[in-house]
């Protein structure tokens, strides 16, 4: 098991509370601005005269950057330390998120979206590393802390922009994007105060850099196992979010879109909160995958075969529950299974592979719908992902821990 070398990682008193809040805030910052564009897309679409293809590219670009920039994020951690890399990512994501408000055409909007995605991407390998540094004896709980923050950060803007923020800023999508960038930027000084300089961790980062330990070892089966397993977790969520609206409209159930998407996301938040007291039971356990991999399969089959409103909403909620549990279990594995100094590059390799899957698999789903003219076929790849998640996730959970911990 990882060694305890950080006083803040002890589970007594304010040290634990500080570490938990630190990780939660980092998770919020990683998602708060990236999805602020989603609820104002109709306004952006109209003002900038964007086509549906251009809208799709606007959504897909950050995912591509997540995959491309994960390794540079690992390099930044190795050279400057975890805290500097995370705060740099936060600042870039917040400022670039606000810069989208200054877009004069689709190309300047794309440029700002790419920069926002880059800021988020360099944070990704930093969070598992921060968990290892701050809570080395409670890695599953630390992972749940930032996972819950990520999920809540993903929910705040889509949930609050239309009913509250847009009326507050006079209906301006530009000011709405700036509005969400402000709390994202304010998290930075709070994060720095909660995570004071630790010379030991900085020295370790410098030592790792001198050995060049930032590039993922692509020959390591662990990276591919984690990447494909996490890709099998994230792809169904992105596909469900992308295609559920058109699918329900095709079925004559457009009135279910709001409740279905609401439960898809709300069930993730509720699930992660419920998991906090039993976090240790997720740590390197196969049961989350054996239970919730099949549950995800059942949920997508429910979307395909069930026609009742209740059945569709339950299926959407079950997808959220299944992705939340298995996401938390998978995100805990890089700091648990990586040797000292390798957490960032292992996580970077995992995110590179998984987000590539999150781009490719939903694309295949859409192509199946177009080629067959049968809407239900769009969920076939997600059913396959559920099976892969069950098998690969259980294999990853039982992976042998390195001997040099």
Q: Which two tokens stand for residue 66?
A: 């997540």
Cα separation, 240 vs 115, in Å, equals 26
Cα separation, 122 vs 259, in Å, equals 33
Q: Are 235 and 323 in contact (CB under 8 A)?
A: no
Cα separation, 394 vs 290, in Å, equals 7
149: left (phi over 0), alpha (psi -120 to 50) or beta: alpha
Question: Comparing C-alpha atoms, which of 400, 350, 355, 282 is closest to residue 129?
Answer: 350
pLDDT at 9: 40
> What pTM, to 2 d.p., does this model score?
0.79
Cα separation, 336 vs 135, in Å, equals 11
Q: What are 95-99's contacts with CB under 8 Å, separation 24+?
A: 95/119, 95/181, 95/185, 96/33, 97/32, 97/33, 97/34, 97/36, 97/177, 97/180, 97/181, 97/184, 98/33, 98/177, 98/178, 98/181, 98/185
Cα separation, 130 vs 139, in Å, equals 10
The secondary structure element, H or E, covering residue 271 is helix 257-275
User: Residue-wise pLDDT tens for the chain (405 aa)?
Assistant: 444 444 444 445 567 888 889 999 999 999 899 878 878 887 888 899 887 667 767 877 888 888 888 888 888 887 888 888 999 999 999 999 999 999 999 999 999 999 999 999 889 888 888 888 888 888 888 898 999 998 888 888 877 888 899 999 999 999 999 999 999 999 999 999 887 665 444 445 444 443 557 788 888 899 999 999 999 999 898 888 777 877 888 888 878 877 887 788 889 889 988 888 888 788 888 999 999 999 999 999 999 999 899 999 999 999 999 999 999 999 888 888 887 678 888 888 998 999 888 888 888 888 888 888 898 998 999 999 999 999 999 999 988 765 544
Q: Are 23 and 131 in contact (CB under 8 A)?
A: yes
Q: Which two tokens stand for residue 252?
A: 């004559």
Q: In order of start, what are the domains of the chain with their CATH numbers?
A: 1-215 (1.20.1250.20), 217-405 (1.20.1250.20)
Question: Comparing C-alpha atoms, which of 75, 70, 160 is closest to residue 122?
Answer: 70
pLDDT at 5: 44
Cα separation, 109 vs 62, in Å, equals 12
pLDDT at 56: 64
The secondary structure element, H or E, covering residue 383 is helix 380-397
Concatenated DSSP letters of 338-359: SPTT-HHHHHHHHHHHHHHHHH
Determine the length of the chain: 405
For the chain, the first-to-last Cα distance in angstroms comes to: 6
Q: How far, CA to CA in Å, does 378 sit from each of 176, 245, 300, 308?
A: 33, 12, 10, 19
pLDDT at 386: 96
Q: How far, CA to CA in Å, does 22 sit from each of 25, 134, 151, 310, 340?
A: 5, 9, 15, 39, 22
pLDDT at 364: 86
């Amino acid at each position: 098991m990882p060694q305890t070398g950080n006083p803040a990682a002890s589970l007594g008193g304010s040290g634990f509370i500080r570490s938990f809040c630190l990780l939660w805030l980092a998770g919020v910052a990683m998602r708060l601005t990236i999805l602020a564009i989603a609820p104002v897309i109709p306004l952006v679409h109209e003002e900038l005269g964007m086509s549906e293809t251009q809208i799709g590219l606007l959504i897909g670009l950050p995912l591509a950057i997540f995959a491309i920039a994960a390794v540079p994020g690992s390099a930044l951690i190795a050279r400057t330390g975890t805290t500097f890399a995370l705060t740099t990512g936060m600042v870039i994501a917040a400022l670039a998120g606000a810069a989208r408000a200054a877009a004069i055409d689709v190309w300047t909007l794309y440029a700002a979206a790419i920069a926002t995605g880059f800021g988020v991407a360099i944070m990704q390998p930093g969070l598992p590393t921060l968990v290892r540094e701050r809570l080395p004896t409670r890695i599953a709980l630390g992972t749940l802390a930032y996972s819950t923050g990520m999920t809540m950060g993903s929910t705040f803007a889509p949930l609050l922009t239309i009913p509250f923020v847009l009326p507050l800023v006079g209906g301006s999508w530009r000011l709405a994007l700036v509005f969400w960038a402000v709390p994202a930027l304010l998290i930075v000084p709070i994060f720095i105060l909660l995570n004071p300089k630790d010379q030991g961790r900085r020295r370790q980062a410098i030592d790792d850099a001198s050995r060049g330990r930032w590039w993922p070892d692509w020959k390591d089966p662990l990276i591919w196992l984690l990447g494909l397993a996490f890709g099998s977790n994230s792809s169904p969520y992105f596909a469900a979010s992308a295609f559920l609206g058109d699918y329900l409209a095709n079925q004559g159930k457009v009135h279910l879109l709001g409740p279905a998407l609401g439960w898809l996301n709300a069930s993730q938040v509720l699930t992660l909160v419920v998991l906090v007291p039993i976090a240790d039971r997720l740590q390197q356990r196969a049961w989350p995958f054996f239970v919730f991999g099949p549950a995800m399969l059942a949920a997508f089959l429910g979307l395909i075969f069930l026609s009742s409103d209740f059945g569709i909403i339950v299926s959407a909620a079950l997808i959220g529950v299944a992705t939340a549990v298995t996401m938390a279990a998978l995100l805990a594995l890089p700091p648990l299974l990586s040797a000292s100094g390798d957490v960032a590059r292992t996580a970077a390799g995992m995110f590179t592979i998984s987000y590539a899957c999150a781009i490719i698999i939903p694309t295949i789903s859409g192509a199946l719908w177009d080629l067959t003219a049968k809407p239900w076929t769009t969920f076939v790849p997600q059913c396959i992902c559920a099976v892969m998640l069950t098998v690969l996730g259980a294999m990853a959970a039982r992976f042998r821990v390195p001997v040099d911990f």
